[in-house]
Amino acid sequence: MARMENIIQVEQLVKKFGPLIAVDGISFEVRKGEVFGILGPNGAGKTTALECIEGIQEPTSGRTVILGLDTHRDGAKVKQRIGVQLQASAYFDYLTLAEILDLFGRIYTRHVPPRELLAKVGLEEKAKTTVGKLSGGQKQRFSIAATLVNDPEVVFLDEPTTGLDPQARRNLWELVQQIHHEGRTVVLTTHYMEEAEALCERIAIMDRGRIVALDTSMNLIHRLPTPYRVKVKSSRALPIDQMAALPAVQHVSGNGDGHVYTLDVSDSASAVPALLTWGKQQGVAFEHLEVRPATLEDVFLALTGKQLRD
């Protein structure tokens, strides 16, 4: 495999606000052309880390390099070549979409015509409307159009789908994939594990200012001691301790009322036959049996002992 070029390097990045350590010495690289995700709960330090990398905030210590340039020493040069979308940001209330894109475009040496940008995000008919008249999903798409005014090589998206309904979220995912297919590197933060799984080639899981794991979503899940989940529904209550003693089963969680049990298993190929045999011995009929891989939610729980969303 050809050696992949790193487009972003983060080395021992620390950001403190008084006694609070928002980012606690993180290091990672982003490869050219990949979609890189930073997944973590609210308050994990994702936004602060991103803003330090983008050159908006001064880090307390550490180094951030984009396209071979230090983002703090060569800030202006870096900013010409990156696109930044801020979390829950807005744009001028009294300018039309086309006027805003035109104004932002003039800031950069290289810029894309507003009409082309609006067409890309499916808002060409809204060129003469103001941001206030757009729906939540349209606003988010417009803010992505605004990050593309300078035809950037690297695009940063901070929580791009927070607050959107499922349909609008899917539309936005398609847009992110389209940006990726144009050959741009995308770095995004999210607290939705489905989003990280759907969009990102590699994911850094962040908690309390630290990166607790970094890999592809498949590798993160497979690295778990129990990468599979077996869910069964039985006709009557079952002894949990007996199920937990079956081969390859590590943990059983059960819902007593509906007789639904979830088994964390290290190997589904040996756990499922053993479970079926044990069921036959017990004289239990399984009404429903499903095997699925663990999720990033399970990974986060295993790594931090917490739920991703509280």
Partner 1 sequence: MTAWYMVIANLKMTFRNRQSLFWALVFPLIFVVVFGLFRLDQPVTSKLVVIDQSKDSISRALIDQLKSITLIRVDESRTLEQAQADLQGGKVNYVLVIPPELEQTVARGTAAPVPLGLSYDAAGLQNNQRMFAILNGFVDQANLSLNHAKPLIAVQGQAIQAKQLRYFDFLLPGFVGMGVMTYAIIEVATVLSLYREQKILKRILASPLPGWQFFAGIIGAHLVLALVQAAIILLAGILLFHGHVYGSYLWIAVLVFLGNIVFLNIGFIVGSFARTPQTAIGLGNAVTMPMMFFSGVFFPTDTLPATMRAVVQYLPLTPMLTALRGVALDAKPIWSFPTELGILAAWVLVTSVVAIRVFRFS
The residue to which tokens 């349209």 are assigned = 138
CA–CA separation, 188 vs 288, rounded Å? 38
Structure tokens at 279: 């069921």
- Decide if residue 94 touches partner 1 (CB under 8 A): yes
- Decide if residue 107 touches partner 1 (CB under 8 A): yes
- Decide if residue 86 touches partner 1 (CB under 8 A): yes
Site for partner 1 in 139-198 (CB under 8 A): 146
Q: Are 145 and 83 within 8 A, CB to CB?
A: no
Part in contact with partner 1 (CB under 8 A); list of ranges 84-92, 170-178, 183-191, 230-238: 84-92
CA–CA separation, 309 vs 305, rounded Å? 12
CB 208 to partner 1: min, Å: 22
Structure tokens at 299: 């990974």
Q: Which is nearer to partner 1, 106 or 292 (CB)?
A: 106
Q: Which is nearer to partner 1, 87 or 270 (CB)?
A: 87
Query: 221 to each of 171, 209, 210, 298, 299, how far by Cα in Å?
Result: 26, 22, 19, 8, 6
Binding partner 1 (rule: CB under 8 A), the pick from 11, 99, 124, 151 is 99
Binding partner 1 (rule: CB under 8 A), the pick from 12, 89, 253, 277 is 89
CB 138 to partner 1: min, Å: 17
Q: Which is nearer to partner 1, 68 or 273 (CB)?
A: 68
Q: Give the CB-side neighbour count of residue 61, counting CA atoms within 13 A.
A: 4
Q: Which is nearer to partner 1, 146 or 265 (CB)?
A: 146
- Decide if residue 56 touches partner 1 (CB under 8 A): yes
Binding partner 1 (rule: CB under 8 A), the pick from 40, 55, 114, 160 is 55
Binding partner 1 (rule: CB under 8 A), the pick from 14, 69, 103, 198 is 103
The conformational region for residue 55 under phi > 0 = left, psi -120 to 50 = alpha, else beta, is: left
- Decide if residue 3 touches partner 1 (CB under 8 A): no
Please tell me what DSSP assigns to residue 275.
H
- Decide if residue 108 touches partner 1 (CB under 8 A): yes
Q: Are strands 6-17 and 20-31 parallel, antiparallel or unpaired?
A: antiparallel
- Decide if residue 76 touches partner 1 (CB under 8 A): yes
Part in contact with partner 1 (CB under 8 A); list of ranges 88-96, 133-141, 197-205, 243-251: 88-96
The packing angle between helices 97-107 and 136-147, to 10°, is: 20
CA–CA separation, 167 vs 188, rounded Å? 19
> How many chain residues touch partner 1 (CB under 8 A)?
26
- CB neighbours of residue 24 within 10 Å: 17
CB 99 to partner 1: min, Å: 7
Nearest to 196 by CA among 117, 308, 100: 308
Which residues are near partner 1 by CB under 8 A?
Answer: 54-56, 75-77, 79-80, 84, 86-95, 99, 103-104, 106-108, 146
